[in-house]
Structure 1
Amino acid sequence: MIAGKSKRHNKERGVKMKIAFSVLSIAAVFSGAAIAQDWQEVNVSGFTLRWATISATELSVELSAPTTGWVAVGFDPTAGMQDANILIGYVASGITEIRDDFGIAPTSHTADTTLGGTNDFTIDGGSESGGTTEIQFTIPLNSGDQYDRELITGNMYTVILARGPDGADDFTTYHEAYASTQIELWALALDSDTWGRIKTSI
């Protein structure tokens, strides 16, 4: 009788372990899907823009375009470049350079610091390879700078994209291509440490 109970107990234990393993496997699959969904992406006119909230107060952004010059993204303009919070950057000799600009007119922008504002971003990385430039950075959703635009999760925003000609490693050369799109900011925060890990998992 004891041996019979032992066999039945081991069998039941094995079934429970299989169920537990299956539950964990399903959870892992759904967890991976949730992580992948936290990054949003849009492709327009050769530009690739990816973004994700990494905390309740920060937005991480990745922008790439087919150029060896500068690339730029502007958030929430009112007309053309007017009033947009513009991040423009390039990669030269392996070093990523980014500047925080403000759209002072529909066809013009200048550095926030020139206007009396501040640079409100963190450079997360960048690369120039195969004729494509990519910049990665994080900005506050609300910097408090009058030359930035407050971004609220759950809202839709107009975003402008631009790139300079090949070799234009500066902030002033006239753009070679331009595009505009609409994006929504999801309120799905990621730990900032996952920047590289999540990027490669999608």
Structure 2
Amino acid sequence: MMKQIMTMLMALLTAACNAQENENKSITKNKMTVSWHFKNDRIHFEMAAPTSGWVTIGFNTKTGISGAYLLMGNVVKDKVNLVEYYTKSPGNYDPISKFGVNPQVENIEGKEQFRKTTIRFSLPTTSISKYQKDLSEGMKYYMIMAYSQEDDFQHHSIMRTSVNVKL
């Protein structure tokens, strides 16, 4: 009897931990929504905006875009493109691969439908370079949210904002 009770308690504890690990958080601002959850040492994101152009999120420890780690994506002819960028200054950002860093983004999928772009992806919670950010649960950042009417990543945004988040 005691063995059965212990087994049930362990099952309940495991279920509670899994439920907590997969808890979705989200934020919506200026018609853009970003959702995330943690699973297996990775953070999984979904970003969606009312556009047929690119969408991006970024993370910085201070206000402004200088020094931010950006994840910019688009969908062109049903192909999803997602690039990790490091921002030197407003309008001056380079793919992290330019600095000899291998991109860490995985599980990339998305769609563009009815003038809405949605992109999903995951990243490790621990960064491997100074051009990225640790994205562990509980970390606080200014999250940059932006989108454009164009797919060209060099094209200016029609919406850009930042919000305080706790991952």
**TM-score in terms of structure 1 length:** 0.69
Amino acid of the structure 1 residue aligned with 2:153: F
1:59 corresponds to 2:43: yes
1:183 corresponds to 2:165: yes
CA separation in 2, counterparts of 1:117 and 1:74? 17
1:85 corresponds to 2:65: no
Inter-CA distance 67–50: structure 2 relative to 1 (3 Å threshold): same
Alignment of structure 1 residues 98-109 onto 2, 5 Å:
98-109=82-93
- RMSD (CA atoms): 2.1
- Write the deviation string for residues 49-100 of structure 1: whole angstroms up to 9, x where unpaired: 0001112x21000000111000000012534211111100001111111001
Q: Could you say which residue in structure 1 is the equivalent of 2:32?
A: 47
- Structure 1 residue corresponding to 2:81, chosen from 97, 101, 105: 97
Between stretches 126-135 and 79-88, larger displacement belongs to: 79-88
Q: Could you say which residue in structure 2 is the equivalent of 1:111?
A: 95
SS at match of 2:51: coil
Aligned length: 152
Deviating beyond 6 angstroms after TM superposition, the runs of 4 or more aligned structure 1 residues are none
**Percent of aligned positions with the same letter in both sequences?**
24
C-alpha contact 2:127 2:135 (8 A) present in aligned 1: no
CA separation in 1, counterparts of 2:35 and 2:136? 17
1:148 corresponds to 2:132: yes
SS at match of 1:114: helix
Alignment of structure 1 residues 5-20 onto 2, 5 Å:
none
- Structure 2 residue corresponding to 1:174, chosen from 153, 156, 167: 156
CA separation in 1, counterparts of 2:126 and 2:99? 18
Structure 2 residues not aligned, in runs of 5+: 1-11
C-alpha contact 2:22 2:37 (8 A) present in aligned 1: no
Structure whose residues are more often helix by fraction = 1
**TM-score in terms of structure 2 length:** 0.82
